[in-house]
Amino acid sequence: MKKLLLSLTAGVLSVATMYGQGRVAFNNQSTFNTADAITIGLTNMGSAGGLAGEGIGGDKYSVQLRWAPGTIASQSAFDAAVTAATTSAVFTGAAFLANTGPLATFSGFFDAGSVAMGAPAGTFTMQTWAWYSVGGVTYAGTTGNKGASQLFQVAVTASPTPVNPTVFPGFTVTAVPEPATFALAGLGAAALLLFRRRK
């Protein structure tokens, strides 16, 4: 009898835990509004990464969702709250509706399906990362185009309540200057200061 009660209790707890887990639909295609698309900025890596104004696509780019419970206003506080456990898998390829190209072909839009938060339902602050990932490079490691959305809040739900999508304002991916570029800029600034002092 005790074994039966323990089994029933464990079953009820596992169902309650499963139903209490928050999840969100990670996509930006629920509106198909071009203002919600992820596009390529004016400062970019050139035709290899797509042309300025085009939407990113699964042939060249990846997206990833980061989150933290509650409402967080600053980027630094959000970065401090995010861990590996509050970061989704990397989505590319078939998650996108099209390859990199004109927005008219639905480039710039993706649907990565449902992402579990690993925490109960509630309000979460989130951010979407996008980057040129040819060769399997990470967001941190890419020297190609990259960008991040503004922080946004989502009311995360648990089953059986319908899942809410991640509707966030569109953003652009831009080129990442190489360290040598920063070094040259620093030398140029130092030279200007030196010439000004001589005068």
Average pLDDT over residues 20-31: 92
Mean pLDDT of the chain: 86
pLDDT value, residue 31: 82
Q: What is the pLDDT of residues 35-49, one digit of tens each?
A: 999 999 999 999 999
Confidence band for 183, pLDDT divided at 50, 70 and 90? very low
Domain boundaries along the sequence of the chain: 22-194
pLDDT value, residue 18: 46
pLDDT value, residue 147: 98
Average pLDDT over residues 84-90: 96
The 3-state secondary structure of the chain reads CHHHHHHHHHHHHHHHHHHHEEEEEEECCCCCCHHHCEEECCCCCCHHHCCCCCECCCCCEEEEEEEEECCCCCHHHHHHHCCHHHECCCECHHHECCCCECHHHCCCCEEEEEEEEEEECEEEEEEEEEEECCCCCCCCCCCCCEEECCCEEEEEEECCCCCEECCCCCEEEECCCCHHHHHHHHHHHHHHHHHHHHC
Q: What is the pLDDT of residues 122-148, one digit of tens each?
A: 999 999 999 999 999 999 999 999 999
